[in-house]
Amino acid sequence: AQTVTQSQPEMSVQEAETVTLSCTYDTSENNYYLFWYKQPPSRQMILVIRQEAYKQQNATENRFSVNFQKAAKSFSLKISDSQLGDTAMYFCAFDGGSNYKLTFGKGTLLTVNP
């Protein structure tokens, strides 16, 4: 069974600084997708970024980028120029294609301080 591990329950960063959230996963699949979702205090689940395992290039979306290390089964999220609105719970998630579901880590609570 696939598992997703987020080892940092909480993190904080100063506004305008850069922060990296860690995620590791375990799978025997070769083709899969990885996601980072953001859950602000409104509790809405918002897709931040997506990575396809067969693509070598790391995904980027504006201030958000990932460091995908397939051999190490690592998928970290880097947030540049942190903003107060980035304060949220961040979930790493895995989709193994044939697994027919999204498996989530336990989340990292990120606080951006002014």
- The burial class, CB within 10 Å (0-12 / 13-18 / 19+), for 7 is exposed
* Helix, strand, coil percent content, the chain, rounded in steps of 5: 5, 50, 45
Does position 61 bind another protein by CB under 8 A? no
Q: Which of 2, 64, 104, 109 binds another protein (CB under 8 A)?
A: 104
Question: Interaction with another protein in 2-31: which residues (CB under 8 A)?
Answer: none
The correct pick among 14, 45, 60, 81 for binding another protein (CB under 8 A) is 45
Give the separation between CA 75 and CA 92, rounded to whole angstroms: 8
| Nearest approach, Cβ of residue 107 and another protein (Å) | 6
- Which residues sit at the interface with another protein, rule CB under 8 A? 33, 35, 37, 43-47, 50, 52, 91, 95, 99-107
